[in-house]
């Protein structure tokens, strides 16, 4: 099985969020896909299998399968458009979150995702204890979003990941208004419940963050910066209950997995 490692939402290698992408002819066993994800030890490993003119896509973290992942979708589309279907202008993925489409937009790949509907929730002492600083606001959908006024607080935050596990939400996103020219918001994402201490750039997180900042700033087009150590930029468009996330991707590695193959006989 060929595996591609792609840096998503990246201008160059070693930026953005690396995802592994496997394009097998048929589905491996579920336990095998989970073991591959655990062995890769990246925040996501994506598996895509062609179904007619479309593809079915699944995402695995080291801790289990997840229902939506932006950066691994971008990485999978990049691998397919470069290696499996280079003439295509659009990829249609059937997923646990419904039909997702990815289109070429010049140098960018744009993904049409569902937007999460956020509900405001109480800021608690447990949040402050886990983060080391008290959020201004807190919102909940699949993930927990904690909002701050100072972008520097987001950049410097060092959460207690064991205490983050006790908070509501699958992932935790911390966010603040943007810094410098061109950025509407900054954020960081933590997923200890999924075996990922910090997700370098979280696409599905921006299905929470883009609707929030769109409503707060009164604009439907946003440029978002993930302020992790690797860093990454997302170009977001909010359209009702959908979010379009666009970004660049860069190939880091191509490898052959020996899973399922007979061991080679030793040389005599």
User: Do 163 and 226 reside in the same domain of the chain?
Assistant: yes
The pLDDT of residue 108 is above 60: yes
Query: What's the average model confidence in pLDDT over 187-205?
Result: 93
Residue 45 lies in a domain: yes
pLDDT of residue 266: 38
User: Do 97 and 126 reside in the same domain of the chain?
Assistant: no
Query: What's the average model confidence in pLDDT over 80-96?
Result: 96
pTM: 0.86
User: Do 130 and 224 reside in the same domain of the chain?
Assistant: yes
The pLDDT of residue 193 is above 90: yes
- Distance between CA atoms of residues 82 and 85, nearest Å: 7
pLDDT of residue 68: 87
> What pLDDT digit, counting tens, does each position of 201-259 carry?
999 999 999 999 999 999 999 999 999 999 999 999 999 999 999 999 999 999 999 98
Q: DSSP assignment, residue 111?
A: E
Q: Which domain holds residue 186?
A: 119-240
pLDDT of residue 263: 44
> What pLDDT digit, counting tens, does each position of 33-66 carry?
999 999 999 989 999 999 999 999 999 999 999 9
- Distance between CA atoms of residues 39 and 51, nearest Å: 27
Cβ-contact 57, 48 below 8 angstroms = yes
State the average pLDDT for the chain: 94
Number of domains making up the chain:
2
- Distance between CA atoms of residues 159 and 127, nearest Å: 10
pLDDT of residue 267: 38
Distances in whole angstroms, Cα of residue 213 to Cα of each of 28, 138, 237, 242:
40, 13, 11, 14
> What pLDDT digit, counting tens, does each position of 144-177 carry?
999 999 999 999 999 999 999 999 999 999 999 9
The pLDDT of residue 261 is above 60: yes
Tokens at residue 76, please?
A: 């999978």
Residue 265 lies in a domain: no
Look at strands 221-226 and 232-239 and give their pairing: antiparallel
Residue (of 108, 146, 138) closest to 223 by Cα position: 108
Query: What's the average model confidence in pLDDT over 77-81?
Result: 98
Tokens at residue 192, please?
A: 């200890």
Distances in whole angstroms, Cα of residue 52 to Cα of each of 85, 91, 191, 237:
13, 12, 34, 30
Residue 263 lies in a domain: no
User: Do 103 and 142 reside in the same domain of the chain?
Assistant: no
User: Do 231 and 252 reside in the same domain of the chain?
Assistant: no
pLDDT of residue 179: 77
Q: DSSP assignment, residue 224?
A: E
Q: In sequence order, what are the residues at sequence separation of 6 or more whose Cβ sits closer than 8 angstroms to the Cβ of residue 7?
A: 13, 14, 15, 16, 17, 18, 75, 249, 250, 251, 252
pLDDT of residue 75: 97
pLDDT of residue 195: 87
User: Do 57 and 165 reside in the same domain of the chain?
Assistant: no
Residue 266 lies in a domain: no
Q: In sequence order, what are the residues at sequence separation of 6 or more whose Cβ sits closer than 8 angstroms to the Cβ of residue 262?
A: none
User: Do 148 and 84 reside in the same domain of the chain?
Assistant: no
Positions annotated as catalytic residues are: 44
């Amino acid at each position: 099985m060929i595996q591609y490692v792609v840096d998503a939402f990246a201008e160059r290698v070693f930026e953005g969020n690396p995802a592994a992408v496997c394009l097998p002819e048929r589905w491996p066993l579920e336990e095998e896909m989970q073991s591959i994800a655990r062995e890769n030890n990246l925040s996501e490993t994506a598996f895509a299998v062609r179904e007619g003119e479309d593809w079915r896509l699944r995402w695995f973290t080291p801790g289990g399968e997840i229902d939506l992942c932006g950066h691994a979708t971008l990485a999978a589309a990049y691998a397919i458009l470069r290696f499996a279907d280079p003439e295509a202008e659009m990829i249609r993925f059937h997923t646990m979150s419904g039909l997702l489409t990815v289109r070429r937009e010049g140098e960018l790949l744009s993904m049409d995702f569902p937007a999460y509907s956020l509900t405001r929730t109480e800021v608690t002492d447990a949040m402050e204890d886990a983060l080391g600083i008290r959020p201004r606001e807190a919102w909940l959908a699949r993930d927990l979003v904690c909002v701050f006024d100072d972008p520097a607080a987001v950049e410097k935050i060092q959460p207690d990941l064991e205490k983050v596990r006790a908070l509501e939400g699958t992932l935790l996103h911390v966010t603040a208004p943007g810094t410098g020219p061109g950025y509407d918001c900054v954020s960081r994402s933590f997923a200890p419940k999924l075996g990922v201490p910090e997700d370098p750039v979280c696409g599905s997180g921006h299905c929470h963050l883009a609707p929030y900042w769109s409503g707060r700033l009164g604009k439907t087009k946003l440029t978002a910066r993930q302020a992790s150590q690797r860093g990454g930029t997302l170009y977001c468009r909010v359209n009702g209950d959908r979010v379009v996330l666009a970004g660049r991707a860069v190939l880091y590695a191509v490898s052959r997995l020996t899973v399922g193959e007979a061991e080679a006989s030793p040389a005599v």
